[in-house]
Amino acid sequence: MIGFVIQFDCFGVKIRPGILCGARVSLSWGALLCDCLRGLAILIYLKAIVLGIVEGATEFLPVSSTGHLILVERFLQLSDDTAFNNAFMVLIQFPAILSVVLYFWGEIWPFVDNIAVRTQRMRLWKKLMVALVPVLILGGLFADTIDKLLFAPIPVAIALMGGGVVLIVMERVLNPSRVRDLGEISMRTALVIGLFQCVAMIPGTSRSGATIFGAMVLGVDRKTAAAFSFILAIPTMAAATGYKLAQNGLSFTGEQWGVLAVGSAVSFGVAYASVAMLMGYIQRYSFAVFGWYRVVLGAVLFGAILGGVFG
């Protein structure tokens, strides 16, 4: 008898012509399971793309990647494997570092034929190493303790709003800049910027925000402060990534490596675009808009806390 065979799967009901021995419904559990698994496989890659976008977009802007990730991860858990989730969030920082290397390559690569340029760039790397020292010392001593005490929605919301207010006020009260080039930054100034960077160990503060603010307080102009902050991220984030990798390890399945590759590619592209955008933006506009954004985001996070989202 000619009739219709009805098949059920993850995405709905399919009806196709077929030969029936009486009226019957064909339910293929194997096909159902396979389709469901395909859907889950696609979903984890979509999550990796979203998290890569968040990481790349917020790592170098003075808006706090931590504040964004707390909100995103609350609604978008990457997988059931907590160890992989933690390692993923650490590892997608590395391509973000590479994006900064690529963007500033012409200003930081020291091994060139011109002796004067080589000397100038080697001096820049010495300043970066000086700026790195405080966070290596204080981070090694207190980073884990600070994370345990303050890596929670309420402290992060406070840091977001407080940092936002600082950025808004900074643009109104700071004196005219005296330092307008990376070569004019002294070793002392680099060290103090490094001390400001330690403030970013408080979750929700923003590493780039703290270092840019510190540099501008010391008389560095907006563009040069941002450039030094981004270049300082190279050794700082490389050290932090290496430290966290030593804690989390690299034992992944084939699918997890694929998810990591997708997240890393997205993080790299978005981070490069973010750095390029900000370097162009600050030549014409102030950081105040980022301050207001932080205040709004902190208020949203407080609203989520009061609404029981993190309960």
**Position 230 pLDDT exceeds 90:** yes
pLDDT of residue 9: 45
Calculate the average pLDDT of the chain.
Answer: 84
Cα–Cα dist 104/101, whole Å: 5
Amino acid found at 107: E
Specify the range with the lowest mean pLDDT, choosing from 41-45, 159-163, 220-224, 287-291: 41-45
| 160 close to 294: Cβ distance less than 8 angstroms | yes
**Position 152 pLDDT exceeds 90:** no
**Position 186 pLDDT exceeds 80:** yes
Q: Average pLDDT, stretch 44-59?
A: 91
Place of tokens 């207001």: 292
Q: Average pLDDT, stretch 269-289?
A: 92
Cα–Cα dist 153/172, whole Å: 29
**Position 311 pLDDT exceeds 70:** no
Beta bridge pairs of residue 14 = 7
Q: Is the dihedral of CA 97, 103, 107, 111 positive or negative?
A: positive
For the segment 82-110, what is each residue's pLDDT rounded down to a tens digit?
878 878 887 888 899 899 999 999 999 99
| Biggest CA-to-CA distance, the chain | 90
Backbone angles phi, psi at 175, to 5 degrees: -75, 165
Amino acid found at 166: V
**Position 19 pLDDT exceeds 60:** no
pLDDT of residue 132: 96
Backbone angles phi, psi at 227, to 5 degrees: -60, -45
Specify the range with the lowest mean pLDDT, choosing from 141-150, 197-206, 215-224: 141-150
pLDDT: which is higher, 113 or 90: 113
**134-154: burial string, b at 16+ Cβ within 10 Å, e else:** bbbebbeeebeebeeebeebe
Q: How far is CA 208 from CA 10, 17, 64, 112, in A?
A: 45, 62, 8, 29
For the segment 21-51, what is each residue's pLDDT rounded down to a tens digit?
444 444 454 554 445 445 556 889 999 999 9
280 pLDDT tier (thresholds 50, 70, 90): very high
User: By percentage, how much of the chain surpasses pLDDT 70?
Assistant: 86
pLDDT of residue 85: 83
CA 236 to chain centre: 14
Place of tokens 């029936």: 20
DSSP 8-state secondary structure symbol assigned to residue 309 = T
pLDDT of residue 308: 84
Specify the range with the lowest mean pLDDT, choosing from 66-70, 95-99, 232-236, 295-299: 66-70
Cα–Cα dist 139/198, whole Å: 7
The closest alpha carbon to 168, from 213, 114, 201, belongs to 213
pLDDT of residue 139: 87
**177-208: burial string, b at 16+ Cβ within 10 Å, e else:** bebeebeebeeebbebbbbbbbbbbbbbbbbb
The closest alpha carbon to 189, from 144, 155, 240, 225, belongs to 225
Domain boundaries of the chain, sorted by first residue: 46-306
Taking each helix axis from N to C terminus, what angle separates 254-281 and 29-58, rounded to the nearest 10 degrees?
A: 30
For the segment 236-250, what is each residue's pLDDT rounded down to a tens digit?
988 888 877 777 667
Cα–Cα dist 138/160, whole Å: 22
pLDDT of residue 284: 87
